[in-house]
């Protein structure tokens, strides 16, 4: 008899198999010691497209909306068909007595496993592995404390409802607005409010009118005291003239001792934000680095929204912190207080699916310098944060001096560091990895006392109000994390829009869909992005994070068994029906925002799929039937296959490919050698499983 363990990724399955003793490598799984260990590759099963329910949905028409399935249909991907077949055989093996869900411990991991389990109509009992680290000790502890799969049935229903609702919203909204404006538009519960935030921020910046303000500065006793901001220049000049050359009196000298606690440990969003600020990494790159480090057993699970650890981890923290101090590639400053304050990073109540991101003990066994630069930097950030988080507080004395001159009040502040504490760690990191030194924030004031008098020189300084900052990924991730938080339940699993694991993908999707673009570190909307937000009614909740807030409340209720899944989906269906009824016509003004995407250039050939005319547009050579959704053929001028060879699809290339199916090209670039070569490139337009068509390219080298 055996138990089947299903992990989310091959690398995780391999790690689990090694721990369990399943050493025998088979095609798509490991076997041994009473276990079969296999894996999914993310979502192996996905919802079918609308035309699977009715052929009429192959065309996008407003009159066919809404599309709300009575019974959901599923499809499989040709890319993962082989692994799905392996799993099917394993699920149905007569010697398998139970199935262990070892996918990521959370709502999405539950869905990935259950999709396959339900697709195979499996009835075997489920056990649940729930871990946050790929270290051997964590895996063993997890298998010694397997949970009953039935305890997570409601979590699965919550995940399934979220997935179905996103399909209903995205599919119906995208078809409605694409049909109204005769262009390909993509909308969704997460990406559309994110785009709206970016557009609204940029509009505020464009419409911002800077306003001057003035401050008066007094100099004359070894420091400069400053007034409050004054909007009126005449008033400011009058105060300056009245005070200049006068005797000022120190009204008060207040000294306070202040303590600054260390920043919390990293969750994924905070790590992405700071990596963007420090190194300019896109959020997606930071996630990929953290995931790679996790799969190498160097970091704990990265897709977390918690910044604390659980109480059972406290005893092991001193050993971990000591080992991490030894591997850092920069010197950790000595501190007179070597106490490791574990209690400040432990809080069971603030840990949901996974604890904060921290390094593992295994990190001390690797060669840090052998890691790719980006992975090394991310690891160093996480190591530094752990050490800083358990270090002593930063303590300083703040002095506030209040000065009276002719009835006007001026102030200055001084700061003296008494104990640097955790800031020594942070400063060491910034110097060595941030490529810049931090400015010393000490500002010492001379010895002064209450009642002291001195003659002053007064001057006026002009300043201007500043517009909101443009969105970098750092600022946008923060905005996404906090959007609509005030409307969400206190115990909601996810707050803000998107999740810590999906926000990076949302940003990349908006870029891919050409709604926004990167300009160095800044994210700015395109004309297409501006137009989409403009045509969406202000009252439509898809523009607002409130929709997510409402969902999270209901999904939490489903998870707790307080709301039936069918009632939630019914409400989503009613919402979609109402939305379509209220927004099925477009004004001429709004239509003008989306100029026709039909061919803007000469016809270059015949479509290999439907026989229609293929004509040149700004970025593609597209079939004329792309825009009425009856055909999807298009050759992108910046096609990646050609771009890697440092070529583009020009008009001449497109004509040849469409007429002959091939073209001879010279001067192709080799990525491996850097040299040039000649070859004939063939275009194949082939049908995939499910009826979808895919255009691919292959080459034959020039014969010598």
Any alpha helices (H) in 328-359, and if so which ranges? none
Do 644 and 692 lie in one domain? The reply is yes
The lowest-confidence range among 310-319, 515-524, 693-702 is 693-702
pLDDT (tens digit, 9 = 90+) per residue, 132-141? 777 788 899 9
What pLDDT band is residue 234 in, cutting at 50, 70 and 90? very high
Distance CA 67, CA 374 (A): 44
Do 381 and 330 lie in one domain? The reply is yes
pLDDT (tens digit, 9 = 90+) per residue, 282-323? 999 999 999 999 988 899 989 888 999 988 888 889 999 988
Is the model more confident about 485 or about 163? Answer: 163
Do 432 and 558 lie in one domain? The reply is no
What pLDDT band is residue 100 in, cutting at 50, 70 and 90? very high
The lowest-confidence range among 331-335, 400-404, 452-456, 628-632 is 331-335
Q: What is the predicted pLDDT for the residue at 110?
A: 93
Do 304 and 234 lie in one domain? The reply is no
Do 217 and 295 lie in one domain? The reply is no
Q: Which run of H or E residues covers position 416?
A: strand 408-419
Q: Which run of H or E residues covers position 295?
A: helix 283-295
Q: Which residue range(s) make up the domain with 623? A: 603-701
Do 576 and 459 lie in one domain? The reply is no
Q: With respect to residue 420, please indicate whether it lies within any of the assigned structural domains.
A: yes
Q: With respect to residue 165, please indicate whether it lies within any of the assigned structural domains.
A: no
Do 247 and 318 lie in one domain? The reply is no
CB contact at 8 A, 670 and 677: yes
Q: What is the predicted pLDDT for the residue at 561?
A: 92
Query: Given 126, 145, 164, which residue is the final one in a domain?
Result: 145
Query: Given 591, 625, 651, which residue is the final one in a domain?
Result: 591
Catalytic-labelled residue, pool 117, 214, 266, 301: 301
Query: Given 570, 591, 612, which residue is the final one in a domain?
Result: 591
DSSP string, 103-134: S-SSHHHHHHHHHHHHHTT--S-EEE---S--
Do 251 and 295 lie in one domain? The reply is no
What pLDDT band is residue 389 in, cutting at 50, 70 and 90? very high
- The mean pLDDT of 611-639, rounded to a whole number, is 78
Q: E-strand spans in 269-405? A: 394-405
Q: What is the predicted pLDDT for the residue at 704?
A: 53
Is the model more confident about 349 or about 264? Answer: 264
**Please, what is the average pLDDT of the chain?**
88
Distance CA 77, CA 46 (A): 8
281 a catalytic residue: no
CB contact at 8 A, 226 and 409: no
In DSSP terms, which residues pair with 516 in a beta bridge? 525
Do 435 and 452 lie in one domain? The reply is yes
Whether residue 592 is predicted with pLDDT greater than 70 in this model: the reply is yes
Do 404 and 546 lie in one domain? The reply is no
Q: What is the predicted pLDDT for the residue at 589?
A: 87
- The mean pLDDT of 370-381, rounded to a whole number, is 94
The domain total for the chain is 5
CA 277, distance to chain mean position in Å, is 14
Do 611 and 635 lie in one domain? The reply is yes
Cα angle value 648/650/652 (rounded, 5°): 135
Do 509 and 562 lie in one domain? The reply is yes
pTM, two decimals, is 0.76
Whether residue 33 is predicted with pLDDT greater than 90 in this model: the reply is yes
């Amino acid at each position: 008899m055996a138990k089947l363990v299903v992990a989310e990724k091959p690398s995780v399955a391999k790690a689990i198999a090694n721990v369990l003793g399943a050493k025998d490598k088979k095609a798509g799984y490991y076997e041994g010691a009473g276990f079969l260990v296999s894996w999914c590759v993310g979502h192996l099963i996905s919802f079918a497209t609308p035309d699977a329910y009715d052929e009429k949905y192959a065309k996008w028409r407003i009159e066919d909306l809404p599309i709300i399935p009575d019974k959901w249909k599923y499809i499989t991907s040709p890319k993962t068909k082989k692994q799905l077949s392996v799993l099917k055989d394993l699920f149905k093996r007569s010697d398998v007595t139970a199935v262990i869900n070892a996918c990521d411990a959370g709502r999405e991991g539950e869905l990935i496993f259950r999709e396959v389990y339900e697709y195979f109509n499996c009835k075997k009992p489920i056990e649940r592995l729930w871990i946050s680290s790929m270290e051997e000790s964590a895996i063993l502890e997890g298998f010694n404390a397997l949970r009953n799969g039935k305890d997570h049935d409601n979590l699965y229903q919550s995940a399934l409802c979220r997935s179905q609702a996103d399909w209903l919203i995205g599919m119906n909204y995208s078809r409605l607005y694409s049909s109204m404006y005769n262009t390909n538009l993509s909308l969704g519960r997460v990406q559309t409010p994110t785009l709206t935030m970016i557009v609204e921020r940029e509009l505020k910046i464009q419409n911002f009118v800077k306003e001057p303000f003035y401050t008066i500065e007094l100099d004359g006793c070894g420091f400069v005291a400053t007034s409050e901001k004054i909007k009126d220049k005449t008033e400011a000049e009058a105060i300056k003239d009245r005070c200049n050359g006068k005797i000022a009196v120190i009204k008060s000298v207040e000294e306070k001792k202040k303590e600054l606690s260390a920043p919390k440990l990293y969750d994924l969003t905070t790590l992405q934000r700071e990596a963007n600020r420090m190194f300019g990494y896109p959020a997606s790159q930071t996630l990929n680095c953290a995931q790679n480090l996790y799969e190498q057993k160097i970091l704990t699970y990265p897709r977390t929204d918690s910044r604390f650890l659980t109480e059972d981890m406290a005893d092991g923290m001193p050993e971990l912190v000591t080992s991490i101090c030894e591997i850092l590639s920069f010197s950790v400053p000595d501190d007179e207080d070597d106490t490791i304050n574990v209690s400040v990073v432990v809080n069971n109540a603030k840990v949901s699916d996974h604890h904060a991101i921290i390094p593992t003990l295994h990190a001390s066994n690797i060669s840090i310098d052998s890691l790719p630069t980006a992975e090394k930097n991310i690891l160093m950030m996480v190591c530094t944060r752990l050490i800083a988080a358990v270090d002593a507080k930063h303590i300083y004395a703040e002095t506030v001096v209040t000065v009276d001159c002719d009835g006007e009040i001026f102030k200055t502040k001084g700061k003296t560091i008494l104990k640097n504490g955790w800031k020594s760690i942070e400063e060491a990191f910034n110097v060595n990895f941030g490529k810049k030194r931090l400015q010393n924030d000490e500002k010492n004031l001379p010895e002064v006392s209450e009642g002291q008098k001195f003659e002053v020189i007064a001057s006026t300084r002009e300043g201007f109000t500043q517009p909101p900052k443009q969105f970098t990924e750092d600022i946008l991730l923060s905005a996404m994390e906090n959007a609509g938080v005030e409307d969400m339940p206190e115990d909601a699993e996810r707050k803000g829009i998107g999740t810590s694991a999906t926000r990076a993908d949302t940003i990349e999707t908006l870029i891919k869909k050409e709604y926004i673009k990167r300009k160095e570190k800044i994210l700015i909307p395109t004309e297409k992005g501006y137009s989409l937000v403009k045509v969406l009614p202000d009252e439509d909740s898809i523009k607002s994070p409130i929709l997510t807030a409402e969902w999270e409340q209901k999904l939490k209720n489903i998870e707790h068994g307080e709301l039936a899944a069918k009632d939630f989906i019914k409400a989503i269906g009613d919402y979609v029906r109402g939305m379509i009824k209220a927004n099925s016509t477009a004004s001429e003004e709004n239509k003008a925002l989306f100029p026709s995407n039909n061919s803007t250039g000469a016809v270059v050939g015949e479509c290999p799929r439907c026989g229609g005319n293929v004509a040149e547009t700004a970025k593609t050579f597209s079939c004329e039937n792309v825009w009425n959704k009856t055909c999807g053929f298009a050759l992108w001028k910046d096609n990646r296959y050609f771009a890697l060879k440092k070529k583009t699809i020009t008009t001449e290339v497109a004509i040849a490919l469409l007429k002959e199916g091939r073209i001879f090209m010279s001067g192709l670039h080799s990525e491996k050698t850097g040299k040039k070569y000649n070859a004939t490139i063939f275009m194949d337009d082939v049908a995939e499983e499910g009826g979808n068509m895919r255009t691919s390219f292959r080459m034959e080298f020039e014969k010598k």
